[in-house]
A = this chain, B = another copy of it.
Amino acid sequence: MSEVPEIENKVSEALRALNSGKLSISKLDDFLGNPNLAALVRRLYLESKYNVKLSSIASTVIDFVGVVGRNIENPIGAVQVPLGVVGPLLVKGDYAKGEFFVPMATTEGALVAGVNRGIKAITLSDGARTKVLYDGMARAPLIWTPSVVEAQRLASWIKENIETLRKVVKEVTSHGELVEVQNFIVGNMLWPRLVFKTGDAMGMNMVTIAADRLCSFIDNNYPGPHRCITVSGNLCTDKKPSSINRLLGRGKYVIAEAVVKRDVLSKVMRTTPEEVHYANISKNLLGNAVAGSPSFNGHAANIIAAVFIATGQDVAQVVESSMAYTWTELRGEDLYISVTLPSLEVGTVGGGTWLPTQREALELLGVAGGGSEPGLNALKFAEIVSATVLAGELNLLASQATGELAKAHERLGRGKKT
């Protein structure tokens, strides 16, 4: 009965404290005892302070109980990103088999339509074959030692004690498993690049905690001089493009390929294998070479960003996940096309995958939550993503080869002078 007035008082008190600078927006959850209420108060505070309306942001299906701290802090609501689907995409992978409608969250007009056209051509050409060649999540602490002699000594000690280290990992994670250690030494500095299996999780948090524990273990047990500078010394590499991930892989090293028939190319895309192939060689290989881009493709990032947002992935990892080689060959009358993604970091549990809309998007693909065996859902998901990227690359090459890219932009909502 008296609850509402109490809340109102509490809200007023909070707003006064915020306005007077006695309370920060970070303390509201504790102050009010309810994260949804805290989100409301933050909005009220900001709306008043900046004379804006945040009512659309307020409108959300997310219950911040359980979400604050886990996925966000200082929430004020949610951003809504338009969600489209492409499909049916025929995939013939080791894990993904069948026809899929892939969810893509984007605000870039023509993207979904374009990928869908690529999918049509691929599905009409017997689908995309996909294969995951490698699966491992890396975290590389950086450890200082006084000299190369000591760095090598510690590197050897780590190699020799790998079984013990595996057990230490098991104490902090039940899904994570230390697979191998790749040691890199420059001068007196050592990066033990720790590679883990992480089941259906993308696994960054898991391996960060495990790596931290391993650093502590080394501190407590290795007798030689050393100091762990950071749990992440950037040879992981997380959220930056890197040669090491391109060569050694991180997350899933996955390839999708298709042989697209000449008549399909002609009918669906009004182009030829020769034109697509020449566009790829000159634009994606030579062009990126001259640009100094280590990512030899057209727009893999477009597809990956859209699928990542849709499915609750770590969107900053689009950076390295989108490193891709698009490779084409003429095959008799037809076109061979493949995309190789050496560092696709995806998961179906953890991160944002459990949020309401994101989980539905994963369910649409049949990969929500843990797989029937740990890891199977993530592997299936990686294959689907790679096949979707393949479609995106095919379509872009085809449209550029025929001058349709700009036309698509003009036609789709941007027909007027900009």
Of A75, A116, A231, A319, which is in contact with the most chain B CB atoms at under 10 Å from its CB? A319
**How close is A85's CB to chain B, nearest CB, in angstroms?**
5
Chain B hits for A316, CB < 8 A: 108, 299, 301-302, 304-306, 318, 322
Would you give 21 A-B contacts (Cβ < 8 Å), ordered by A?
A: A50-B101, A50-B366, A61-B80, A70-B414, A74-B84, A77-B83, A79-B357, A107-B355, A142-B283, A148-B255, A172-B417, A188-B327, A212-B406, A230-B400, A231-B406, A233-B283, A241-B241, A242-B291, A243-B291, A281-B281, A301-B318
- A101 vs B366: C-alpha distance in the bound complex, in angstroms? 39
CB–CB A79/B361 < 8 A:
yes
**How close is A70's CB to chain B, nearest CB, in angstroms?**
3
- A352 vs B364: C-alpha distance in the bound complex, in angstroms? 25
Asked if A351 is at the interface (CB within 8 A of a chain B CB), the reply is: yes
Chain B hits for A272, CB < 8 A: none
CB–CB B78/A173 < 8 A:
no
Asked if A71 is at the interface (CB within 8 A of a chain B CB), the reply is: yes
Partner of A62, one of B80, B111, B283: B80
Identify 15 new A-B residue pairs, CB closer than 8 A, beyond the known A79-B81, A107-B355, A186-B286. A52-B364, A56-B357, A62-B82, A73-B111, A76-B103, A79-B309, A80-B81, A172-B417, A186-B290, A189-B327, A208-B409, A213-B406, A215-B403, A230-B400, A234-B291
- A282 vs B407: C-alpha distance in the bound complex, in angstroms? 32
Instruction: Please state the number of chain copies in the assembly.
Output: 4
CB–CB B85/A76 < 8 A:
yes
Interface string of A212-247 (1 = CB under 8 A from B): 110100000000000011111111111111111111
Select from chain B the residue with minimum beta-carbon distance to A50: B364
- A403 vs B60: C-alpha distance in the bound complex, in angstroms? 36
Which residues of A in the span 294-308 have a Cβ within 8 Å of any Cβ on B?
Answer: 294-302, 304-306
Asked if A394 is at the interface (CB within 8 A of a chain B CB), the reply is: no
**How close is A81's CB to chain B, nearest CB, in angstroms?**
5
Partner of A247, one of B133, B247, B315, B356: B247
- A55 vs B360: C-alpha distance in the bound complex, in angstroms? 8
CB–CB A212/B247 < 8 A:
no
CB–CB B257/A56 < 8 A:
no
Asked if A95 is at the interface (CB within 8 A of a chain B CB), the reply is: no
Asked if A165 is at the interface (CB within 8 A of a chain B CB), the reply is: no
CB–CB A131/B148 < 8 A:
yes
Chain B hits for A131, CB < 8 A: 148-149, 152
- A248 vs B185: C-alpha distance in the bound complex, in angstroms? 11
Are A187 and B325 CB-contacts (below 8 A) given A79-B80, A234-B291?
Answer: yes
Are A325 and B186 CB-contacts (below 8 A) given A72-B83, A232-B400, A356-B80?
Answer: yes
Overall SS of chain A's interface: mixed
CB–CB A191/B287 < 8 A:
yes
Are A318 and B305 CB-contacts (below 8 A) given A25-B85, A243-B291, A291-B234?
Answer: yes
- A362 vs B344: C-alpha distance in the bound complex, in angstroms? 31
Chain B hits for A364, CB < 8 A: 46, 50, 52, 54
**How close is A69's CB to chain B, nearest CB, in angstroms?**
4
**How close is A403's CB to chain B, nearest CB, in angstroms?**
7
Chain B hits for A309, CB < 8 A: 79, 81, 309, 315
Asked if A348 is at the interface (CB within 8 A of a chain B CB), the reply is: no
Chain B hits for A306, CB < 8 A: 315-316
Asked if A125 is at the interface (CB within 8 A of a chain B CB), the reply is: no
- A248 vs B244: C-alpha distance in the bound complex, in angstroms? 10
